[in-house]
Structure 1
Amino acid sequence: MTPLTMLLQATQVEPLAEDAAATAEALPAGADAAAAAGALPTDLDVWSLILHASIPVQLVMLLLLFASIASWVIIFRKKRLLDRATKEADRFEERFWSGAELTKLHAAATERNREIEGLEAIFESGFREYARPRRSVDSRSRLEAAQRGMRVAGSREIDGLEQNLEFLANVGSIAPYVGLLGTVWGIMISFHGLANVREATIATVAPGISEALIATAMGLFAAIPAVWAYNRFATRVERIASRYEAFSEEFSSILERQSSEA
C-alpha cells in the first residue's frame, strides 16, 4: 500500500459549519411542523360553530329551525289526512257501486249526526238538496240544486286537504334565501374583523366563514323536505279532487235518470 493511500484513509472528512447549522435548524423546524399539524383540529364541531356565531346569524338559524320543525309537523299531519281521505273514498265508492239504495246511503250518512267527509259528504249534500221538498219545482231545478250542493261540498273538502300546503311552498322557496342572508352577514363580519389584523391568513377568516356557512346548510335542510312534500301532496290533492269531480258527475247522471223515469 502506497503512503498516499494510507494518508487518504487516515484522513476524516468533517462537515462544513454551515451544513451542520442548517441540519440542526431543520430538525427543530420539522418537529415544530409535525407538532403543529398534530394540533390542528380534524373534527368539525357544528354545535361550537353555532354557539360562536354572531347574534344575527344565530337568529337566522333559530328562525330556520322553527320553520323546519313546523314543516315536518305539517308533513306528517298532511300525510295522515290524505291517506284517510283516500281510504274513505275507496270505502264509500265500494258501498255506492254495490247497488245499495240512495235513501239507505243517505240515512247511513246522517245517522247519529256523525261527522262525514270526502265523497260521503259530497253525496250527502247533493242528495239532501235533491230530496228536499219544494213546491212547484221541476226535476231540472232539483238536479241543479243537487249539483250546486255537491260543488260546494267538494270545494269545502278540497280546501281542507289543501290547508297548510302554502306554508310548505313558502318554506321551500324562502328558506334558502334566509340562510344565504345569514351567510352573507357572517362573512361580512369576518372580513370586517380583518381591519385590526396586520397579516390576514386563511386561518384568520376560516372560523367566521365556517360559522356563516352553517346558516346556508340549515336553510337547505329546511327547504328540501318542504319542496318535496309540497310537490307530492299537491299532486295527491289534485288526484283526489279529480276523483271527487268524477263522482259528482256520475251521481248527477244517476239523479238525472231517476228524474226522467219519474
Structure 2
Amino acid sequence: MEGSVIDAVTLGGSVGAPDFSMMSLFLRADWVVKSVILMLVVASVWCWAIIFEKMTSLKKLNRQANSFEKNFWSGQSLDVIYDAIGNQPKDPMGAVFVSAMREWRRATEKGHVKSSLASTSLAERIERVMHITVSREMERVERYMTFLASTGSTAPFVGLFGTVWGIMNSFQSIAVSKNTSLAVVAPGIAEALFATALGLLAAIPAVLAYNKLSRDLERYTSRLDGFAVEFSAILSRQMEDKG
C-alpha cells in the first residue's frame, strides 16, 4: 500500500514536471527576457561571423604581403613592379607601394628632384602619403572590431538584466500564488539563468577573439610601417643619386 502511494506521487510529479530544454525556456519566458535572449543570440552569431572573417582575412593578407615582399626584393625595377600592379593594388602593402610610387613619378616627371630642398620636400610628402595609406588600409581591415569589443564588455550585463527581470517575475509568481514551493519559482529562475548563460556565451569568445585579433592586427600594422620606412629609405637614396 505504501509503495503504491509513493509510486503515485512520483508519477504525478513526473507528469507535471516542467520542461527545462532551451526551446521551452525561451517559449515560456517573458517578452523582455525573450528580447534579451534573441539579442544575445544574434550578437553571438554576428561575433562568430566577424571572428571567422577576420582570421581568414589576416591569413590572406599575410600571404599577399609575403608574395609582394618576395617580388619587391627580387631585384626588379620599381617602375616594372609599379606598372605590373597598376592602379588597383590587391593588398594594403601594395597600396602603400603604389601611393609612394605615384607621388615619386609625379615629381620626377616634373623634374622636382634636382635640388636638395625639393628632394627633402618630396621625401616628406612621400612619407606622409604612405602613412595616410597605412592608416586608411588598416581602418578598412579593422572594420567591425569595435563590435567584438562592445559585445565582450556589454553582453554579460545584458544577460544579467534578463536574469534580474526573470527573478522579478518569479517573485511575482510567489506573491500571486502565495506558494513558496520551488516548483513555482524554478521555471522563472531557469529562464533568468538561461539569459545569463547566453550573455557569457556571447561575451567570452568575443573577448578572447578581440585580444588575439588585436595582437595580429598590430603585428600586421608594424609590418606595413616597417615596409614604409624601408621603401622611404630606398627612394631617398634614389633622390640623392639623381641630385
In the superposition, the TM-score normalised over structure 1's length comes to 0.83
RMSD of aligned alpha carbons: 2.0
Q: Which has the bigger relative contact order, CA under 8 A and spacing at least 6? A: 2
Q: Which amino acid aligns with 1:59?
A: S
Deviation at 1:162, TM superposition (A): 1.0
Paired position in structure 2 for 1:226: 206
Provide structure 1 residue ranges, at least 5 long, that are not aligned to the other structure. Answer: 1-23
CA–CA distance in structure 2, aligned partners of residues 186 and 60 of structure 1: 11
Which residue among 242, 246, 253 is the counterpart of 2:222? 242
Corresponding position: 1:118 with 2:92: yes
The answer as to whether partners of 1:184 and 1:212 remain within 8 angstroms in 2 is: yes
Shift of 1:115: 4.2
Report SS of the residue matched to 1:200: coil
Query: Could you say which residue in structure 2 is the equivalent of 1:99?
Result: 75
Q: Distance in 1 between matches of 2:37 and 2:187?
A: 17
Distance 1:156 1:198, change over 3 A: closer
Residue-by-residue CA offset, 1:32-53 (whole Å, 9 max, x unaligned): 4444565575974111111011
Between the aligned partners of 1:201 and 1:45, the Cα distance in structure 2 is 21
Is the contact between residue 44 and residue 201 of structure 2 (CA under 8 Å) also seen in structure 1?
A: yes
Whether the aligned pair in 2 keeps the contact of 1:130 and 1:145 (CA below 8 Å) is no
Matches within 5 A, 1:82-231: 82-110=58-86, 113-133=87-107, 134=110, 138-231=118-211
1:201-259 deviation per Cα after TM superposition (whole angstroms, max 9, x unaligned) = 11111111111111111111111221122111111110000000111111111112222
Aligned to 1:17: none
For residue 49 of structure 1, what is the aligned residue in structure 2? 25
Runs of 4+ in structure 1 off by over 6 angstroms are none
Q: CA deviation at 1:196?
A: 2.4
Change (3 A) 1:106 1:157: same
Residue 135 of structure 1: how far off its partner (Å): 5.5
Stretches of structure 2 that go unaligned for 5 or more consecutive residues are: none
- Aligned AA (1:145): R
Query: CA shift at 1:141, angstroms?
Result: 1.7
Structure 1 contact 186–208 (Cα < 8 Å) conserved: yes
**Structure-1 residue corresponding to 2:36:** 60
CA distance in structure 1 between the aligned counterparts of 2:7 and 2:228, rounded to whole angstroms: 83
Sequence identity (%): 42
Alpha carbons 2:20, 2:190 under 8 Å: kept: no
Report the Cα offset of residue 89 of structure 1.
0.5
Q: Shift of residue 76 of structure 1?
A: 2.0
Tell me the equivalent position of 2:239: 259
Work out the CA distance in 2 between the residues paired with 1:176 and 1:31.
Answer: 43
C-alpha spacing 1:86/1:136, structure 2 compared with 1 (3 Å): closer
Q: Distance in 2 between matches of 1:198 and 1:170?
A: 42
| CA positional deviation for 1:88 | 0.9
**Contact (CA 8 Å) 2:96, 2:228: kept in 1 or not?**
yes
Q: Which one has a bigger Cα radius of gyration? A: 1
